[in-house]
Structure 1
Amino acid sequence: MRRVRAVAVDAVLGSVLGAAAVVAVRAQAAWQGSGGPWRGGQGPPWAGGAGPEWGQVPPGVWAGVALLVAAVAVRRVRPPAALVAAGAGAAVFLLGGGSLSPVVVVMGALVVFSAAARMEPVRFLCWALPPVVGAGVLSRAGEPWWGLADGSVWAAVAVAVGVMAPWAGGGVFVRARREGRRREREAEVARHRYEERLRIAREVHDLVGHSLSVISMQAGVALHVVDRRPEQAAVALSAIRDSSRSALEELRRTLAVFRGEEGAALEPVAGLDRLEGVVREMGRAGLVVRVERSGREVALPGAVDHALLRIAQEGLTNVLRHAGAGAAARVEVVFGAGLVRLAVSDTGAGPGAGWREGAGIAGMRERAAGVGGELEAGPGAGGGFVVEVRVPVEGGV
């Protein structure tokens, strides 16, 4: 539909310019026929000496104008065809008795501009140079030997190329800007895709990593007591079943949101209201966790609430993996003036001197940065390990 509209608009523009070109030709003929100074005051043979009559315009001029109008009409949808039609139209127009009036030049310039804006530079030059050079040569058709005897044909070619060069340069500039914007859009789309893949990977990592850590601990307990205390092994196996079922359900909901399944986005996003559930699950895996809340709680944005839950979950998972047997954990949630602070600490031995951040801490840091917060992680002053994140929020005390 856009192409049809473009052709229709350009056809109207070409028709107006074509009519102006015919008027210019006939006005020039009338002026010459009445003794004007052009070429010694003698008009062309087809003009006659009487007043202007439209029927006296030769068929070649009409045919050339028609080709130029067609070239203008298709200049945005068929640039090579428009260049060919413009070149042929200029040739027929000049050989039919017309001269390169400003209107004809503008019609050709529009075609050159549009072609330069839509074609590769080398391809454009291959299509555009022959018509432009041909128009310059044919403009000397009335001279002896077409201007070859006195060399004026070369000047005419230089003028034709010089007149069209700014229009071609303008088209090349427009094309370069379009290509630049297109590359920017593609880079933006690629960046969004990367961020979305990273978000999915982080979400799946947190879900699967946490659940597998809990299941691994409970499976170890079950194996340890299966012979001596089978009733405790049954409790551990039941906890494994519940943990795996919960993880699969949450993973299904998460992937449904990413896939855009109908109704998935309507489900509430997991936030700090589910922190107690995470703590209970950790308790079944053998980790004692104490939760402390302080400050006047405010409603958190969904992204912030979800990020804080995942950071707390990943922090507790790291405690379960690395703090060692007998370690306990504490989760602090503090609502302050314009921010919320979450800290996960443990009573374990802490990391060694040469410890390095792993993928878990890197993921937590990215989550915090994604909601405008900052995260610090490292050995605690009294031992153990501390992960602390601060996120600015509206409200609070």
Structure 2
Amino acid sequence: MANKHLTIKQLTVIVGGGLTPRMVRHYHKLGLLPEAQRSSGNYRLYTDADVQQLRRILALKSQGFQLDDIRQLLNSPEMMSFDALASQLQQQYHSVTEQLARLRQTASALEEFLLRDKGSQDTQLQALEQLKQVEIESAFGLQDLDRLWDGLHATQNIQPEDFSESLQQILPDLSKKNEIEKDLLSKLVFACGDVSLVNFVRLSKDAIVAARHNLNEDCEIVADVSPVFAALDRTRIRHLGANVKTLIDDPHIHSVDEAERKFWQDKEWLEKLKQLKPGCILVIGYAPSVLMSALKLVEEEELQPSLIIGMPIGFNHAPFSKRRLMNSKVEYITTVGTLGGGLLAAVALNALVGSLIERPDCHCYLSHRQ
């Protein structure tokens, strides 16, 4: 293709990724693409260099970069040094987190109104009228807004809350999920108080099938550390006949750092991983190194878990280990990125155990498999 020129339509087909002629023309206008050569009929002609440039643009877009940032990254040679690139990425990260914080505040405000008790509707309408008068862009307006929220809270009726009803008002559309998965997602949301978590939970196609089958077969359930073990509903697990144990059974471990150091300092834990029974369920909520080591053993056929609930904590190894889990041949339940933790991992397992006890004859998850 080095000496062959492409039309704009041919270019979009070769680059792929949803690229359209309109997008190409827009990138020309923004300076992301150099001006193309022209045919005798005044049609744009493209080369292999343009194909490569467009693939870089789409790759950066897929990671969340704005077009202005992409132009800086690709058009300024000095920006491609590691330090400069890291600085640019850091600025982008802080900008995104600030946007997320503002969106989270907006979501919280909407939740305040949507989840008010029905008996407080008059107060809610009054608050909305007051809200129209608040200049929320000024510092004084923000103080007024805080007082408005405080007033709303002061009028809240003291009565039992119907958590399930409240949750249904703010959950996204889960109609394509089976009842077992809906229950799992609801319990995870209750555990962290953040409905947006639903968008970051990932289950393999047969994760629920594997969990229910092996829990009925008295399987071995293994938590990575004692805090995760402590959060498991061992009474219900024993009711199913399953056995629960801890991999790194040191009661003095209370943090991810301690779990990571302990795992690497003593090879005993790696040997314990190798000795786990086929069909076991791993519940990993702290140490990403445990998850990565388990996956390596799976690849080497030295470990055959039926399911891995992988939600380790961390900002570097944890996201990487979860991606590796999702690309493995093991059935999994995990969370995207840095979200996770021991409580969520334990809640996921507890939800599966609970649904099996409460709905032993439910097979809805079989018809919803994707």
Give TM-score scaled by structure 1 length: 0.22
Higher Cα radius of gyration: 1
Q: Which has more helix, going by share of residues?
A: 1
Structure of greater relative contact order (alpha carbons < 8 Å, 6+ residues apart): 2
